[in-house]
Structure 1
Amino acid sequence: MPHLRIASVNVNGIRAAARNGMSGWLDAADIDILTLQEVRGQDEHLEAALPGWSIVHDEATAKGRAGVAIASRTPALESRTTFGADDFDSKGRWIEGDFLIGDRPLTVVSAYVHSGEADTPKQDEKWKFLDAFGIRLAELSHDGALALVTGDLNVGHREFDIKNWRGNRKKAGFLPRERSYFDRFLGDAGAEVTGVDGTIGTGLGWVDVGRRFHGEVDGPYTWWSMRGQAFDNDTGWRIDYHLATPPLAERAQDYRVARAASYAERWSDHAPVIVDYTY
């Protein structure tokens, strides 16, 4: 059965990733659509790192920060970067591209959620982003649409998603309020959902493709701290996602995290997440 292979990765700087081996990985991976986060560069840097690809890119307001892009073997039919309220700076953190999967339209998103910092203005920006995220998810999932949000979402939803979850309960990335957003995003559509922080909201019905494939197990992790031997010990976080509308999730096949064979072979501190979607 034909498939569309979609990969997502936080490159931690496109120029550094290209220098450190991304191109070799990409040559072997046979990807159709590649979503990137933390590009930290300009269009010319993406074009140099991804020759022959069609690219849509949204730079961050501050040079050398954030940045999201979608690279594809065939050009996107349309792309958008509008996200959130007018007074909220989301540049470099959300880009949508429209494609076809078979004869049906598919919207693919590359998203980079703020890392945040508990009880600081950085966390306030993260709350604003997550609020806008929920609104846009509801819009994208209307009428059985095929839509996929990929990227570094900087939240470990469940205890399975962080190796050292007990030590991170008061830190950004695993705060109960952050996790409750994901409870609602992934709760049954239209159902009353009680989040881990005790708040009540309406489920949006999206599917965490990685968790659906791997079930109730630790990981597989997608990011490891540079400190200590986190990578070697697989003391990681699962914060890079494919979130799909139910009709697209039904088409998902062969979900995998492309974890490097060794620390020395990594070209980013994140591992690519790859899924084949049949059509």
Structure 2
Amino acid sequence: MRIINLSVDGIHQAAQRGLYDWLAEQDADIICLQDLRALEYELDHQVFHPEGYNAYFFDSGVKHYNGVAIYSRKMPKALIYGFGFASGVDMEGRYLQIDFEKISIGSLLAPSAMSASESQEVKMKFYDDLQAHLVKISRKRRDYVFCGNWAMAHKSRDVMNAARHEGDVGFLPHERSWLNQLFTQLEYTDAFRKVNSDDDEYSWFPETESGDADGWRTDFQVISNNLANRVEYATIYKKQQFSSHQPVIIDYDLEIE
């Protein structure tokens, strides 16, 4: 099973840059896109419904703002829109999940706290609620793959010139601590790092006024520990630029039932 995830900075722009032509050549079973910046009714053109895939979208209800999508070759048994946090803070990002017999795959766009409309307090409330959700679902007899833009990097090797960014949002001590807990205590695995230990692997190059950007690895496929030994191959595609993020491609020794 091949899963690709990409944060697109606007799906129309990414399509114009050739994203769907590239995806057609990748033989992916599932494609998870984030930050569509489009409402579902704006995606009725055939380019956004590639042949051979079932297409699912979850928009923000606001034009030009967030939204996620999942493309799946196989028809899922169920769809879940949002996490359903009692606080409602999950609506500050977006989450869409497809369920199969024994596995669930989600497309996640987390609040970044990097814009004037998003606060660090909201971001960390989102992650506190997400942590409680992950603990709860870990008791289920089901495996999970959470694909998306997590809006933070984990270790120094995941940020170019890491010392320069230690005080920056997305690499703050409490954000890194949250990821440490996710991967050491909550029984989840960073699928990419399971098979790829290269230090210069970055998935996001934020725009800067100078035009020079340090790379960050903020786009993950977070998987249940039960799937850790099923990861066969992981790479970040760098030959084309569809957005400020790069596609993450991971192959699993799995068949969807």
Residues 184-263 of structure 1: pairs in structure 2 closer than 5 A: 184-187=181-184, 203-215=185-197, 217-227=198-208, 228=210, 230=212, 235-260=214-239
Residue 121 of structure 2 is matched in structure 1 by 124
The 2-side partners of 1:47 and 1:140 are apart by 34
1:271 aligns with 2:246: yes
TM-score by length of 2: 0.89
Matched residue SS, 1:156:
coil
Residues 8-19 of structure 1: pairs in structure 2 closer than 5 A: 8-19=5-16
Q: CA deviation at 1:119?
A: 11
The 1-side partners of 2:25 and 2:64 are apart by 29
The change in CA–CA distance for 1:251 and 1:118 in structure 2 (over 3 A counts) is same
- In the comparison of the two structures, how many residue pairs are matched? 249
Q: CA deviation at 1:219?
A: 3.6
Matched residue SS, 1:41:
coil
Task: Choose from 145, 150, 158 the match for 1:148.
Answer: 145
Q: Which amino acid in the other structure matches residue 204 of structure 2? A: W
1:78 aligns with 2:71: no
Q: CA deviation at 1:259?
A: 1.2
Q: How many percent identity over aligned positions? A: 29
TM-score by length of 1: 0.82
The change in CA–CA distance for 1:230 and 1:250 in structure 2 (over 3 A counts) is farther
Q: CA deviation at 1:255?
A: 0.8
1:22 aligns with 2:19: yes
Q: Which amino acid in the other structure matches residue 91 of structure 2? A: S
Residue 133 of structure 1 is matched in structure 2 by 130
The change in CA–CA distance for 1:178 and 1:43 in structure 2 (over 3 A counts) is same
- Report if the CA contact (8 A) 1:219-1:238 is conserved: no
The 2-side partners of 1:139 and 1:55 are apart by 28
Matched residue SS, 1:276:
strand
Deviations 1:72-116 (A, max 9, x none): 11222111123222442516511111125xxxx110011111111
Residue 183 of structure 1 is matched in structure 2 by 180
The 2-side partners of 1:20 and 1:255 are apart by 23
Matched residue SS, 1:250:
helix
The 2-side partners of 1:253 and 1:107 are apart by 19
Q: CA deviation at 1:168?
A: 1.3
Matched residue SS, 2:25:
helix
Q: Which moved more, 1:45-54 or 1:143-152?
A: 45-54
- Report if the CA contact (8 A) 1:59-1:92 is conserved: no
Q: CA deviation at 1:229?
A: 5.2
Deviations 1:223-247 (A, max 9, x none): 112334546xxx3000000111111
Matched residue SS, 2:193:
helix
Q: CA deviation at 1:117?
A: 4.2
Q: Which moved more, 1:109-118 or 1:119-128?
A: 119-128
Q: CA deviation at 1:253?
A: 1.1
The 1-side partners of 2:49 and 2:186 are apart by 35
The change in CA–CA distance for 1:42 and 1:61 in structure 2 (over 3 A counts) is closer
Residue 97 of structure 1 is matched in structure 2 by 98
Matched residue SS, 2:91:
coil
Q: CA deviation at 1:144?
A: 5.2
1:159 aligns with 2:156: yes
Residue 197 of structure 1 is matched in structure 2 by none
The 1-side partners of 2:15 and 2:115 are apart by 33
Structure 1, unpaired ranges of 5+: 188-202
The 1-side partners of 2:79 and 2:65 are apart by 21
The 2-side partners of 1:126 and 1:255 are apart by 28
